[in-house]
Amino acid sequence: MNALALWRKGLSGSSVMVVLMLAACASPSPAPEASREVRSAPLEPADVERRARVRLELASAYFARGQTATALDEIKLALSARPDMPEALNLRGLILAAMGDKPGAESSFQRALQVKPGDTDTAHNYGWFLCQQARWPEADRMFALALAQPQNAEAFRTHLAQGACLARSGRLVEAERSLARSYELDPGNPAAAFNLSEVLYRRGELERARFYIRRVNSQPDLVNAQTLWLAARIERRMGNSGGVDDLSRQLRDRYPQAPETLLLDRGRWDD
């Protein structure tokens, strides 16, 4: 199985994958300060831009903290100052998607691309949004759009999301190609290594799958239930009973309540 999730230590679920959906507009920010009073006097263009940017930063910070309703309020203020601000429209799409408002999210992403065609962040986020709904051809087009832009300095994250989406849709050969490219661009990214290992495991490329997952598990701060479970399944399929026993012991000792440990205890190796 290959659900896409944010990488973090101890994350539970069927696999560890990173979308890196929050682009520049949603990077970690200091805790939001109290909102300023809105002035009634007409503002100069520079002041309008500054106000919109402040609201965008506040919205990003609130969204990063999981306060989606407050983040949405701040985005509305940013857009009231600058209705054509693509970064705000993109972030509004992410917020609405997180709140379950799919039509609103899609409308926001589409509007952002109308304002700034070919925007890499919006195309990336919209592509993943479409992938989550199994709208494969549309997701493919958005990822391709993001990767076609010469200014895409973070192509590794789009290749990663694209590869995860391809794997989710069962297109494993293409998924391997995208994930290998992501790994090539950012070999220190554990999510790229994990996802590539999982795809290779599903394709029966066990030696290669073992290589990538061992790179993750060799770093103690990156080990979690998902990485141990994938490694154990690879060793089992390779007939290495000693390796399976060692990884199973680690999984039970360190993550006794994890879903992966439950699968192990039930003998559900292929779930």
pLDDT-derived band at 3 (thresholds 50, 70, 90) equals very low
* Mean of per-residue pLDDT scores for the chain: 88
Mean pLDDT computed over 141-145: 98
User: Using 50, 70 and 90 to split pLDDT, how confident is the model at 41?
Assistant: low
**pTM, entire model:** 0.84
Q: Do the first three CATH levels of 7-12+155-271 and 21-153 match, i.e. the same topology?
A: yes
Nearest alpha carbon to residue 15 among 178, 189, 213, 147:
213
pLDDT value for 43: 61
Q: What is the CATH number of domain 21-153?
A: 1.25.40.10
Instruction: Pinpoint the alpha helices (H) of 133-219.
Output: 136-148, 155-168, 172-185, 190-203, 206-217
Burial of 238 (0-12, 13-18, 19+ CB in 10 A): middle
Query: What CATH fold (topology level) applies to the domain 7-12+155-271?
Result: 1.25.40
Q: How do the domains of the chain map onto residue ranges?
A: 7-12+155-271, 21-153
The vertex-259 CA angle with 99 and 220, nearest 5°, equals 95
Summarised one tens digit per residue, pLDDT across range 159-199 is 999 999 999 999 999 999 999 999 999 999 999 999 999 99
d(CA 251, CA 178): 30
Can you say how many angstroms the Cα of residue 142 is from the centroid of all Cα atoms in its chain?
15
